[in-house]
């Protein structure tokens, strides 16, 4: 497969790129800054410099031509303000989906966030609340597209502990933690599981091997 990842320099994306390259897939990662290219090359990915906050649909679609799948793993990241939650977490997701449709790439996987479908509780940090609202709006936009075979993955609280390969993956899992390693492993498995199209799945650490969890979600 050829897979194009938006947000190719993110912590989950770099892990995913290593996994995909290791199993023989061709992978490209979209990054904002040329100096990030070396990290992608080290992960086995082709770096593609393109700013999703300023690019046109046509610009991005050209990078998606010939791809078998697209993964949206971009995010404004910690330290960014409310405005960039809108321009990256929502608007860039919609742009990437538009570009995938324009390029004829049907398989579309989104890294979202747990709690994105509900209004943030009173007292939530305003920037984090904006992030959750932006993620929820992006997910709703993707789910409305008949031209995409989409899967939305909503991990729990992310950790940098070594992956266990054991997860809980379902429409609703309850709150919990999950390692970035295991999120990447689940994403890699989802890309080979077209039966998960049309599903929004929550992910936390658990007791089921990744392959079995994804197969069950596809069933």
For the record, the structure tokens of 119 come out as 């209004």
Distance CA 53, CA 75 (A): 11
Of these residues, 72, 96, 131, 150, which one is catalytic?
A: 131
Q: What is the C-alpha separation between 41 and 79, in angstroms, rounded?
A: 26
Residue 56 falls in the annotated catalytic set: no
Catalytic residues: 131
């Amino acid at each position: 497969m050829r897979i194009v990842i938006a947000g190719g320099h993110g912590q989950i994306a770099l892990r995913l790129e290593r996994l995909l390259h290791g199993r023989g897939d061709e992978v490209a990662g979209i990054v904002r800054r040329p100096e990030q290219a070396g990290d992608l090359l080290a992960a086995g990915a082709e770096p593609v410099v393109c700013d999703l906050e300023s690019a046109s649909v046509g610009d991005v679609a050209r990078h998606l031509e010939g791809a078998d799948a697209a993964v949206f793993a971009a995010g404004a990241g910690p330290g960014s303000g409310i405005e960039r939650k809108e321009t990256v977490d929502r608007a860039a997701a919609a742009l990437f989906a538009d570009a995938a449709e324009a390029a004829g790439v049907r398989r579309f996987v989104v890294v979202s966030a747990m709690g994105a479908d509900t209004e943030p509780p009173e007292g939530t940090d305003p920037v984090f609340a904006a992030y959750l609202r932006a993620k929820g709006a992006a997910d709703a936009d993707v789910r409305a597209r008949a031209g995409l075979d989409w899967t939305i993955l909503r991990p729990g609280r992310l950790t940098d502990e070594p992956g266990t390969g054991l997860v809980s993956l379902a429409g609703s899992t309850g709150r919990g933690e999950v390692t970035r390693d295991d999120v990447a492993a689940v994403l890699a498995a989802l890309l080979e599981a077209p039966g998960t199209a049309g599903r929004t799945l929550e992910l936390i650490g658990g007791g089921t091997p990744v392959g079995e969890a994804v197969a069950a979600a596809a069933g």
